[in-house]
Amino acid sequence: MGIPTYRRSARTDWRMWLLLAFGLVFLWAGSVIDPADNCSDDGRECAPWLVPLAQGFGALVALGAGLNMLANPNRGSFIDPATGELVWWQGRIGRSGGDEGRIHPSQIAKVRIVRQEDSDDEVHLYDRAGARLFWLDQEVIPWPYERWAGRLKARWPHIVVERVD
């Protein structure tokens, strides 16, 4: 019932895979369609410039999705078995540490899950002094957030889990 190492969320993955597929379809279509053939039979409706535009759009979307998927494993969190600390990080590139932090769960006082109707939910963690732990948010913990917070509370019962709708 431990807190597993988190590297990427399934919710992010399907969206990025969908964007990558969308971009690759446009990129492929732009490379197989001849711009000169992109006209109606009577020649009245002709837009040969749309083919390279669609191909460029597809390349841009596929590149963006691919880079996001490469960067995604570079953020996460886990419980360090040697120290028992909760370790989190964002923005790791190569060997650089990026933005990271450590805290022992005994020092965490509250997990606040803020439900948002029009966007992704937010998660905020607070230490015993009431200070918010920056960089330790929804970007580095797995979804569903309630399950993750419940596992944390099960191991450290003093942690208050608050849901704000």
* Exposure of 76 in the CB half-sphere (CA atoms within 13 A): 16
* Exposure of 82 in the CB half-sphere (CA atoms within 13 A): 2
Q: What was the pLDDT predicted at 117?
A: 78
In this predicted structure, the answer to whether residue 28 has a pLDDT above a threshold of 80 is yes
Give the pTM: 0.56
Q: What was the pLDDT predicted at 9?
A: 41
Are 123 and 164 a contacting pair, CB within 8 Å? no
Q: What was the pLDDT predicted at 115?
A: 84
Q: What was the pLDDT predicted at 76?
A: 76
Q: What was the pLDDT predicted at 63?
A: 94
Mean pLDDT throughout 56-72?
86
130 or 42, higher pLDDT? 130
Q: Is the dihedral of CA 25, 31, 32, 34 positive or negative?
A: positive
Q: What was the pLDDT predicted at 101?
A: 79
